Structure 1
Amino acid sequence: MKATVSDIARSCGLSTATVDRVLNNRPGASAANRQRVMEAAKQVGYLPVADQVTLPSRPAHLEFLLPIGSNAFMRDLAGHIEDYAARLPLVASCRIHNLAGILRDIVEAGMRLVTLVSDVPAAPRAAYVGIDNRVAGRTVALLMGRFLGGRTGHLAMVVGSRSYRGHEEREMGFRSVLSEEFPNLTVSSAVEVNDEPDASYTETMKALHDEPELLGIYCVGAGHSGVAKAIREARPNRKPVFICHDLTKDTRGRLVDDLLDVVIDQNARLIAEQSVIRLLGSIASSAPYLTRKFIEPRLIFRENVPVQ
């Protein structure tokens, strides 16, 4: 039998009116009483749970601020969020805003905040949903070294923007493994392109011209279309190992065509689902932060491209 407001009131020793205020997020209850009510609601099984995250008792209005721009992965992520949220009864509405910044102002206005894909630890966010980007960069370096099988030479990096913490962490992880395990490989070119395909094309063409025997290219952000175009046009004697992030329609095609060797995929669908669950969980929780839980990145090769 489903627990009731009266069950919660008996469990925490407070009035049903106080319990009702807390469950419906209305003013008039102290922080201590709010915590007592939420703990009691969990204990009696009143609150729903998904993936070990306690959810709110009433439908919530969710707002997501994503720096979408021309980033195909971000567009996919926004679509997955809208699709998943539309299927959850606990989501009263879900809106995606193509914006960046203003995080602290949002929290100070009384809203709960969850960061996606690239964390902002300085912001008072309740949770981060995404991969461990430093681990992702380390994984790329390990794959690059193994693919090249002990050869000595130069690599190029095409960095989206070091102002994104996620891109910075990927680069740090990549360089650290090269230094530790593959001193025979040297990064001779590392340029920021702000995820612009034209800029990544120009810089990749320059790198291929300057280094005719370039062994590998790591695209840290979303500029992989420019890198792919440059490799096609330059037609080097030996194609450099090409690794990038995020499985999209375009990167699927490049894997199948054998232009791209590996995609480190963040799994837009799973990040979308977890972001909705974590945002709902932050509303239900009295704690400022939820338990940290990274999304595991997927390694996508030509032979294991998932069915769309």
Structure 2
Amino acid sequence: MTKLLINFMKSKNLPVLGTLFSNFPTGYKNVITTLSMTVMLSGCSDWFEPTISEICETNSEMCLDLSLDARCRHERADIIRLRYNHQTDTSDAFKYPLLLAFEDYLVCVEEAQHIEHIKRKGKEATRLKGVITAQRELTRLARETKRSLDPYLSYYHWSRHNDNEAFHRFERYAASNKVNDPELLISLASAQIKTDPERTINTLYKALSLYKDADDIDSAVYLSLVSLGTDKENYRMAYVWLGVSEYFDENIPSARRESLGKKFNLPVDILDSVVSDIVSALDNSQFDASALKLHRL
């Protein structure tokens, strides 16, 4: 998966932070929770969903092709719950979390199969069925969703299969006013940064405007803006976003920002005021790059 580059961190020996994709591709449990809650809230009886054991008793076809032993039970439960909650769903929306659930399940059963193989010294592993099922379902779901207009599935096919058509669908959606998930825009920025720094900055600014809680923002977003400012020799921009990153991540030292201010004789009092305005806007879920006049940095 493509990562946004944070070159200045390497040159200044700053601590390595998470990539911009730390939430989007692996955060399917949040998607599963949202989908499950939607089903639960659809009627009073759904407040008391059946357990996994009860689902398997009444809908054995949802469970029999999975390895039903003690290992990987959480990954298996996610798949079974998705199958159960969306058994009559004809849309593509739930297939993205299902794909990710099968990816996690495959990793788990392959590891478990390897452990079992070592213990049993070459005897047939009991988890082979789970491996075969996961591989088959990943292939089937990928084939079914290859041309889906769903932005998450378009992202999946681009990031997993380097599908350029899927990327263009994803890019068109991310550039629209329909986007309400900042992680989609951050993922788009990771592709734009290779060829178009200005568009990357605008995309990241738009992503920041969508967050409802500043604590959900990966500090790598701020540091990527620092890197983008440094690369274009806009040291005022780099200074400001270093200040923002320091506020939200106590592990980032102030020495880099202070050194930048002295080296390039920056108007630090004015820039510190901009930092405060940005921090306040982010804390209050009111970030607006235009209102903050960030284009003037």
TM-score bracket for the superposition, by shorter chain length: under 0.3
> Normalising by structure 1, what TM-score?
0.25
Identify the structure with the greater helix proportion: 2
> Normalising by structure 2, what TM-score?
0.26
Identify the structure with the greater strand proportion: 1
